Amino acid sequence: MKLFHGSIEEIKVPRILETQRLLDFGRGFYTTSMKPQAESWALIKQKRFSGNSDAIVTVYEIEDSVFFAGEFKVKDFQAADEEWLDFIVANRRSYNPHPYDIVKGVVANDSLYSTLLLYEANVLTKLETIERLKTHKLFDQISFHNNTILKELKYIESYFVSKNVIS
């Protein structure tokens, strides 16, 4: 399986960085199976740095068997459902680590963030939040949460992204 990582630098050797941001699936190295999503992330990260950096997508290969052979603990959210919502809200509230090596599921990107904030503020119920999320086009993310699993990602290539690539 090919996976893509959008950033402002080429990352030949993936690593988990200490971050101040609370992320959907906790501290980890985030990828997607969707090339346009990685390109979008790279451009968003470039914009955060005032456009003074490159937008780069790094491409990796990982064996499909890693996800189901039983060697690693994998959590696979098939949809934006109650369990998924509880998981990402818990991760966005604290740095408490979860027991998974890999987490797969839909991404709650910036366009969905306001919906999640309304839920966290108890303005929306869980059901209302999930219904609102269904109206958005959801992309996938696959996060890796320790150095052992990161060794399974094999670097293929990197390429620059320009604003006119994304439609």
- pLDDT at position 130 is 85
Q: Decide the pairing of beta strands 74-76 and 102-106.
A: parallel
Distance in Å from the first CA to the final CA of the chain: 24
Query: In this predicted model, which residue has the larger pLDDT, 162 or 31?
Result: 31
Lowest average pLDDT, out of 15-19, 51-55, 108-112, goes to 108-112
pLDDT per position as a tens digit, 19-72: 767 888 999 999 999 999 999 999 988 988 876 789 999 999 999 999 999 999
Closest alpha carbon to 73 in 37, 52, 97, 50: 97
pLDDT value of position 167: 42
Average pLDDT estimate for 144-157: 97
Cα(132)–Cα(8) distance, integer angstroms: 31
Would you list the domain boundaries of the chain?
Answer: 2-12+22-161
Given a contact cutoff of 8 angstroms between Cβ atoms, the answer to whether 21 and 94 are in contact is: no
